[in-house]
Structure 1
């Protein structure tokens, strides 16, 4: 079965080409991993939540997904409030310690957590029991996994995820407007390698994989305990599942491209032939485990592009035997059977029949896969035709845009802490974050240092703007210190930092320098490649410009300074740097509106506007002051066109509010009311358009009364 004839090699080569076209090649896989690890590093370095660390795991971080999968984002939150140990020598005074119990009474792949005293490294024997602690037959005080369940429920209430789904240890909020789900899992970290997996560290398969260095690295990643017990055991309430997620991610990062493609094909086959009939039988993790097993037991020269079909057949054959025996051993903890409770007697014969058809089809089963148009693409390749559509550039464009959004999302909570702070407190807080970034950059290398370089300029810009606002308040000027700080963030992207600088000059009445900065922005804003970037909230993103995707294909995050336009954010403490028309956005929410805001909606306490909208608005105001009518009308027309035609504006309602005020300046009250109404159609609540409508109607009524 596994001797590859010529046609099998030909199909394998064409299949490899198809997978490369849809983004399963070395370049895109590395970009996927880089995107996730950068985001992970940004969150860990800033450490906005000192009680936990967040890790991105699963197919997106591994680079083993495609556009057609629309894969979930798997987020593992490592809670630091417990010290989980496997040896009493690791006990720490003054903290909550728990000892992992892994004996014959515990289900394989699971453990118990025994409560320890905080003054001496000894177990509790007498303490007040509650819903989180039970005493077993041996007299041990054990922590129940209900505590994680309650933490998850608290998250649901806090983030208003009442319509979300809780499954096992994970909670999935309502589906995002962008179309993908996010699975959140809370876990407790253990710094040492689990006892049940120590034998794995000394095993070596035929393929000399994983290597000694990989195993040594894995042993240093420790493990996590997740609040879910074995449903078929008698200790379900107080068993904890052992997770080696970071070690598994290391293994995935050390696969070659043929092995990754084999895994992607296994998932496509499962999605096409198994999941429609038996949703919860064969998981992606089982496919991954089978792949690990086959790699460990084959020579490395087996895994070549022209042998892909044979590689896939061998993996499917091993998966078939797992289903036949209803046993899929965890790769790192072999005693843990991943198939327990997943396959019943009624479904097993049909599953085996499906697997037999796929294995014996000699690759023809692949022609039934519609995911990512695999069938149509493969037929095109086999007929020696040129594939008319590749999606790999679209994928890299998505990834670069995701990095840009991740930058704003990671900075957002830092800014939220100073939303209503004084100048002094705001500056002090931002300097502490900046010091943390500089320190991390000096102490770390690789992606961690890159993460610091991506975050630091935005903090510099905000510090400069706050200092400028203070100096404008004091003497209607901008201090040299403020200009120095803001200059450090001017090239983060195409426009946002420069627009803050232009806004400062505008607010002190320096029209000449305002015009120069705005002209510089307009000259560098290439509409063929620049994409608006907004991470304030989740919304449906329309297809990006081809130029943006093309630039993203051959560059990493350094391209953002040429092809990204972040939205411009002003905090209340920057109020003197904000044009009066935009200041209304600081007061967008009525008391009733506040009840409809979510926890991440603190951007609504700020004045936020898309770069392109703000550029044309500032040009309109500047040229109006300079009495340059043609330039003023051009800027107004550009603002109208941007609102109508730019698909990816994140703050269209704000742009409409600014346009409405421009219409008021033009004495076109009816048009102004029209645009304010359109703004309310975009965002019904938490919208300053309500203020503008009331203000304008009041003005019209008073004017009418005076004219009577």
Structure 2
């Protein structure tokens, strides 16, 4: 299968056609990105300019990347951060008159995580006052922020706005669906404007594929990083650790994939949904698949990723994932010391996962026939029998237009409601 014989090329061509029919083509991918990036812009413009909120909201994940379909049912991932807190990794970035926290990344902290040390607001020195209920004084006398503050803030907001009650999943809060279409995972975070120290080496690495390019790496280095309120469960400092997220840099990388690479990622998520999730829900994540894809792209030549080679590309991705599980190590693409598999795959499930992946790899594409998401399997069978199934790409396009209209309508109503309340208050009290 890795030799791309005529059979594999023929199936790859048909598979690419099927994926285009269900909306995984350049046009729909760009429309998805514009839809959700427009929402991100509207959220931030209304928040900063009209409502005078000192914070930012980012729409991340599969929807804004354009790497999903209706059948995959990807959530909307929103990251909300306050601009009132200055996160620094170097003392030279300390600012007077604001809340400053120093990101500590030493041998006591898990790779991919950090501690947040409170600093004084008047001079660039460590804060030595009494810790509040969300702070902890360690043996070295440092005042460290507990990550529990993020989940408590989410709960407080949920109680204040009764219409926004939801479920807590780790660092994410999931409110009820507003329109019955998408779940929204809202994660609170702090923004650090400088690139994480643990990922500095990545900026100078270059694989045989010459990807990411130097321009992409320079852009990524300017995106900084986020710190999210969740610690490593295998570390004694779990309540004090904060996970380092390079989400904006990862979004940049996703925006620079070609359509074959995007299709491989979508197919991997469909395979997870069909073969892995029903039996082993919390083992292999889509982020692991994305990480494996990044690594493979960086170490293969660009001309490998062709539409008539998509089946071989998919098999290579699954084989790389297989090796990660076999070796018990799936290193984060930008912070290699962070092993994404740790704590997710136990000894009992490991052989079964390997067996499933090996079956799919050696199936020569027939395993795809059983994928029900977007009727991919049945559509592929029809294509291979020279029949043309009904295209839904235009329906997908119309659905995205409806989402855009609803986002604009909701934002206008929200802003008008705010203006109405302010006007009423001014009339009554001024």
TM-score (norm 1): 0.59
Q: Is 1:392 aligned to residue 393 of structure 2?
A: yes
Matched, 1:247 2:249: yes
Which residue in 2 is equivalent to 1:26? 26
- Which residue of structure 2 lines up, in the alignment, with residue 612 of structure 1? none
Instruction: Tell me which residue corresponds to 1:383.
Output: 385
1:413 is matched with 414
| C-alpha separation in 2, matches of 1:206 and 1:159 | 52
Aligned mates of 2:425, 2:82 — CA distance in 1: 32
Give the equivalent residue in structure 2 for 1:658.
none
Q: Is residue 418–residue 425 contact of structure 1 (8 Å, CA) maintained in 2?
A: no
Distance 1:236 1:49, change over 3 A: farther
Paired with 1:256 and 1:365, the residues of 2 have a C-alpha distance of: 24
The CA distance in 1 between the partners of 2:41 and 2:167, in whole Å, is 28
Q: CA deviation at 1:414?
A: 2.2
**Which residue of 2 is the match for residue 311 of structure 1?**
313
Match of 2:137 in 1: 135
1:234 matched to which residue of 2? 236
Quote how far apart the aligned CAs of 1:139 are: 1.5
- Counterpart in 2 of 1:101? 104
- Once residues 420 and 110 of structure 1 are traced to their aligned partners in structure 2, the CA distance between those partners, rounded to angstroms, is 42
- Residue number in structure 2 paired with 1:521: none
Q: 1:170, 1:184 within 8 Å by CA — same for their partners in 2?
A: yes
1:202 to 201, 204, 212: 204
Q: Which residue of 2 aligns with 1:269?
A: 271
Q: 1:221 to 1:374 in 2, by over 3 A?
A: same
Distance (whole Å) between structure 2 residues aligned to residue 122 and residue 25 of structure 1? 53
Pair 1:16-2:16 in alignment: yes
Tell me the equivalent position of 1:72. Answer: 75
Rounded Cα–Cα distance in structure 1 between residues aligned with 2:403 and 2:423: 32
SS in structure 2 at match of 1:97: strand
Q: For residues 237 and 423 of structure 1, what CA distance do their matches in structure 2 show?
A: 44
Instruction: Indicate if the aligned counterparts of 2:270 and 2:371 stay in contact, CA closer than 8 A.
Output: yes
Aligned positions, number:
424
TM-score normalized by structure 2?
Answer: 0.96
Determine the C-alpha separation between the residues in 2 that align with 1:76 and 1:200: 24
Unaligned runs of 5+ in 1: 427-708
Structure-1 separation of matches of 2:424 and 2:311: 64
Shift of 1:292: 0.3
Per the TM alignment, residue 320 of structure 1 is displaced from its structure 2 partner at its CA by 0.3
Native 8 Å contact 2:57 2:80 kept in 1? yes
**Whole-Å separation in 2 of the counterparts to 1:405 and 1:91:** 42
CA contact (8 A) 2:216 2:252 kept: yes
- Distance, in Å, in 1 between the alignment partners of 2:164 and 2:260 is 42
Q: Specify the SS of the correspondent of 1:82.
A: strand
Alpha-carbon contact 1:26-1:257 (below 8 Å) kept: yes
CA distances 1:4-39 after superposition (whole Å, capped 9, x unpaired): 000000000000000000000000000000111111
Deviation (angstroms), 1:177? 4.4
Structure 1: how far apart are the matches of 2:13 and 2:298?
A: 24
Is the 2:167–2:173 Cα contact (8 Å) retained in structure 1?
yes
Whole-angstrom distance in 2 between the partners of 1:73 and 1:116: 35
Map of 1:42 onto structure 2: 42
2:159–2:165 CA contact under 8 A, matched in 1: no
Measured at CA, do residues 328 and 411 of structure 1 come closer, stay the same or move farther in structure 2, by a change above 3 Å? same
Q: 302, 306, 317: which is aligned to 2:304?
A: 302
Question: Who is 2:354 aligned against?
Answer: 352
Greater relative contact order (CA < 8 Å, ≥ 6 in sequence): 2
- Matched residue, 2:325: 323
Higher strand share: 2
* Distance in 2 separating the partners of 1:19 and 1:352: 26
The answer on whether the counterparts of 2:228 and 2:245 sit within 8 Å (CA) in structure 1 is yes
Query: Mapping of 1:138-149 within 5 angstroms?
Result: 138-149=140-151
Give deviations 1:24-79, integer Å, cap 9, x for gaps. 00000000001111111122222235221110000000000101012111111012
- The CA distance in 2 between the partners of 1:254 and 1:68, in whole Å, is 24
Higher radius of gyration, 1 or 2: 1
1:224 to 226, 233, 236: 226
CA contact (8 A) 1:67 1:372 kept: yes
Name the one with the larger helix percent: 1
